[in-house]
Structure 1
Amino acid sequence: MQDTILVMNAGSSSLKFHVYETDGVNTLDFAFGGQVSGIGGKQPSFKVKGRHQNVLVEQALRPEQAQNLQLSQRVVGDWLGTVITKEPLAVGHRIVHGGPDYDHSVLVDATVLKKLDALVSLAPLHQRNNLEPVHVIAGNWPHIKQVACFDTAFHRSKPEVADRFALPQFYYQEGIRRYGFHGLSYEYIAGKMQQDYPEVIAGRVVVAHLGSGASACAMLNGRSQESTMGFTALDGLPMSTRCGQMDAGVVLWMLEQGMTHDEIQHLLYKESGLKGLSGISSDVRDLQDNSAPRAELAMAYFSYHIAKGITGLLAATQGLDALVFTAGVGENSPQVRHDVCRHLAWLGVSIDPVLNENNQGCISTPESKIGVYVIPTNEERVIAQQTLALIHDSHKALQDWTVPS
């Protein structure tokens, strides 16, 4: 069997994995990938697709098989053991928060892992889960190289005025700053556009990553200049269960009412956003065709605040040449794209309803002053690329090193 790179992306209720075949230097060929979904729920499932998107495995799991992330890892590990006869060259992990120390992917060691564990409070929905597979592999197979790839790293190119809060210097030195997230997704989109639309990505582009988490990023020549997310993955656009931008005074009011830290955190991360507004569901698919007044309010709020967030980014780019929709909602909801673009019509945005309905790559009309694109993201491939590059460079450095005379 060829050498492989294993990619792990552990979330709050799912565990995704991709396997890429490689020559260990520069080739990466997707072999298969899958996920355990519904972790901790009543109807968890396990599904794997092959290189041609053919279904290799599709099965319901008993709740006790995927009661938590650790048990779900066992499901994945047991299955991988039946199809991979050779240990991977390395395992790459999506890590949401890199804090102030990491502006690029790194090989994981005990020091790195300790620093990343200390950032759990900055991304409570993600960081602990992201790190769980790292701990398991380090504990059971310490000889396997692991690479941490950060969602915050892509945004380290932002200028200082976009990186700061208006707080005393002490807090900035302590790491309180506007990090931005979804960087692995934005890096993939920037690279994909460099291949397919090089003249577009060379200009002023805003990418809207709209999934259960949502953010937007303003780019100049493919580099991040500003993002709607800040210190944590709670800020910015409204999301499935997260509130997005909110006056910090509301949190002070909640504290004054006697709410605890854990109660406020649970409310803002898990009971707000589309779920809180609608009182029905956190899923756009459930809400966009629902005529209930609160469902309509939730969807109207979602599209309005996405458009508002996009226009707020334009001070960083001094205009807009192209808008890109990506991630689950951005790639698959013509209604959301239509409603967002309707709010941006004053900028000269115009989309073709047929192209939009069919999720085509470019959905803007010839008359539109701004190009509008739909580009599927692939965070796992970026993780694989970063992992391969890092282990190749580290191996080459060892080969090139000579004992001093």
Structure 2
Amino acid sequence: MKERVILVFNVGSSSIKYSLFKNYELLKSGNYERLKTKEDYEDSVKKIFEKINSEIDIIIHRVVHGGDLKKPSRITEKIKKRIKEFSEFASLHNPKQIRVIELCEKYKKPQYAVFDTMFFSEIPEIARTYAIPKEITKKYGIRRYGFHGLSHEYVSRNMKGKTITCHLGAGSSISAIINGKPADTSMGLTPLEGLIMGTRSGTIDPGIIFFLEKKGYDAEEMLSEKSGLKGVSGYNDFRDVRSKMNKDKNCKLAYEMFVYSIVKAIGSYIAAMNGIDNLVFTAAIGENVPMLRRDVCSHFSYLGIRLNKEENEKNSKMISSKSSKAKVWVKKTDEERTAVEEVLKILRTSE
């Protein structure tokens, strides 16, 4: 295989993570956080290229919403236009990812987009379809797209049977996967649906949106940026909520609501799949908070799911007890490596 040096950008709503690979070998990585302005992003991209100090062959971007694009794509004006079109459904992410793509253009290297929605492109019709008029769904491409696909795909590899993957971080989602094929996922048309998140409300009664709009509020801004843990407790960072929950009743409530939303999602997927063989926790919260995993799994003791207390406290790879009816895992996600693998797979076929 031809040797390539690959720079991967994972651009979030307030952060940029980067990783440098030589084919599949990770050479270096880093991140910039608490980015707020256009200038912050420009400065971060400039610093990343200065730090790398090596010749790049390919630049890869993780793009949150790719809509109906089902495979990695070489970034052209046409692909950029498609990403911009789906910015309406991922307003916190796609515009910033487009900005970084455009900042990278001056380096004159081939750029590829790998979409978080790809993994869920073939979920069953019963799971992806919303119960609204069909002519509207067809006209505007309204369906369940799902997100965190690179993460859910990575941590579910080699899992046989019925698996539930829990990507728990500032943004959180849960997926049902049967023998490697996604059956359902908690996020929908946008990354707003599903679990309670750092600043996102997750699933709520749609009537609340109508009410807020009638009262003159910007419902999209409120539900995307001012709700979730932040709306209930005043803190959007789970670490703050957790550290203050013993003294602050609002933080305690926010934590319990977060756990409850996870439990409901897992329970619904166990029912939908008629069982569970593997339960996987990943991402910043899922990988590093034993208390949350314990509190979530305690709701499924009736199904015979049991943790090994010591292994859970150590964040071990397998944390279920020997007597547990399903295996419970803690797996470190690697969205950047998955993006590299997806692009190299495409390039290999053309060599």
Question: Cα RMSD (Å) of the superposition?
Answer: 1.5
Deviations 1:173-204 (A, max 9, x none): 1210011110000111123xx2xxxxxx1100
2:215 partner amino acid: Q
- 2:258 is matched with 302
- Which one of 212, 221, 246 corresponds to residue 266 of structure 1? 221
Could you tell me how far apart the structure 2 residues matched to 1:90 and 1:171 are? 39
Could you tell me how far apart the structure 1 residues matched to 2:215 and 2:278 are? 45
- 1:257 is matched with 215
Could you tell me how far apart the structure 2 residues matched to 1:277 and 1:346 are? 30
Deviation of 1:67 after TM superposition, in Å, equals 4.4
Q: What SS does the aligned partner of 1:288 have?
A: helix
Deviation of 1:217 after TM superposition, in Å, equals 0.4
- 2:275 is matched with 319
- 2:155 is matched with 189
- Which one of 34, 43, 51 corresponds to residue 38 of structure 1? 34
Deviations 1:337-370 (A, max 9, x none): 1111112222221112211111011111111111
Does the 8 A contact of 1:228 with 1:313 survive in 2? no
- 2:133 is matched with 168
Q: What SS does the aligned partner of 1:181 have?
A: coil
Could you tell me how far apart the structure 1 residues matched to 2:74 and 2:297 are? 41
Deviation >4 Å, runs of 4+: none
Q: Does 1:134 align with 2:101?
A: yes
Could you tell me how far apart the structure 2 residues matched to 1:189 and 1:175 are? 28
Q: Does 1:336 align with 2:301?
A: no
1:176 partner amino acid: I
Does the 8 A contact of 1:277 with 1:297 survive in 2? yes
Could you tell me how far apart the structure 1 residues matched to 2:80 and 2:271 are? 37
In the alignment, structure 1 segments of 5+ residues that lack a partner are 23-27, 42-65, 195-200, 397-405
Alignment of 1:355-374 (within 5 A): 355-374=311-330
Q: How many residues align?
A: 346
Deviation of 1:315 after TM superposition, in Å, equals 3.9
Q: Does 1:147 align with 2:105?
A: no
- 1:103 is matched with 70
1:95 partner amino acid: V
Could you tell me how far apart the structure 1 residues matched to 2:291 and 2:97 are? 32
Alignment of 1:55-94 (within 5 A): 67-80=39-52, 83-84=53-54, 86=55, 88-94=56-62
Structure with bigger gyration radius: 1
Deviation of 1:141 after TM superposition, in Å, equals 3.4
Identity %: 35
Question: If the length of structure 1 is used for normalisation, what is the TM-score?
Answer: 0.83
- 1:400 is matched with none
2:74 partner amino acid: L
Deviation of 1:213 after TM superposition, in Å, equals 0.4
Does the 8 A contact of 1:106 with 1:390 survive in 2? no
In the alignment, structure 2 segments of 5+ residues that lack a partner are none
Does the 8 A contact of 1:107 with 1:390 survive in 2? no
Alignment of 1:215-226 (within 5 A): 215-226=173-184
Q: Does 1:393 align with 2:349?
A: yes
Q: What SS does the aligned partner of 1:157 have?
A: coil
1:17 partner amino acid: Y
Q: What SS does the aligned partner of 1:68 have?
A: helix
Deviation of 1:127 after TM superposition, in Å, equals 0.8
- 2:22 is matched with 21
- 2:123 is matched with 158
Could you tell me how far apart the structure 2 residues matched to 1:40 and 1:229 are? 25
Deviations 1:260-280 (A, max 9, x none): xxx22221111111111112x
Question: If the length of structure 2 is used for normalisation, what is the TM-score?
Answer: 0.95
Does the 8 A contact of 2:200 with 2:227 survive in 1? yes
Could you tell me how far apart the structure 1 residues matched to 2:295 and 2:331 are? 18
Q: Does 1:381 align with 2:311?
A: no
